[in-house]
């Protein structure tokens, strides 16, 4: 869109920093939230979150994610950086 109209892309994007060390919204809270939202199902048994099969690295990261005391163990988790990218993305989804 920015190329089409010749405008600066930064005008339409917003950066929201996420502090992984914060108590209320940090890594532990995001990890717990991600675990819950991935394990939760609809009344008909369907998943709340779907990951397309083309995202093989993300699927591997989710399957291998290992936490110790609510903290992601990056040594044991395959593709830990990919999983870290998932955490803040799912944090935007809230429970009603």
Q: What does the pLDDT average to over 45-54?
A: 92
pLDDT grade for 91, boundaries at 50, 70 and 90: confident
Q: What is the largest CA-CA distance in the chain?
A: 50
Q: What is the pTM of this model?
A: 0.74
Percent with pLDDT over 70 in the chain: 97
- What is the residue-wise DSSP string for 32-91? HHHHHHHH-B-TTS-BS----TT-HHHHHHHHH--EETTEE-TTTSTTHHHHHHHHHHHT
Block residue for tokens 């108590």: 23
Question: Residue 15: is its pLDDT beyond 90?
Answer: no
Question: Residue 2: is its pLDDT beyond 80?
Answer: no
Q: Taking Cα atoms as reference points, which of 32, 25, 15 lies closest to residue 67?
A: 32
Signed CA dihedral, 19, 96, 51, 72: sign only: positive
């Amino acid at each position: 869109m920015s190329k089409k109209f010749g405008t600066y892309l930064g005008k339409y994007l917003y950066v929201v920093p996420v502090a992984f060390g914060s108590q209320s919204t940090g890594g532990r809270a995001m990890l717990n939230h991600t675990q819950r939202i991935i394990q939760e199902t609809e009344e008909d048994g369907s998943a709340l979150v779907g990951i397309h099969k083309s995202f093989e690295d993300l699927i591997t990261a989710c399957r291998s994610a290992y936490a110790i005391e609510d903290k992601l163990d990056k040594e044991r988790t395959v593709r830990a950086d990919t999983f870290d990218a998932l955490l803040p993305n799912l944090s935007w989804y809230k429970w009603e």
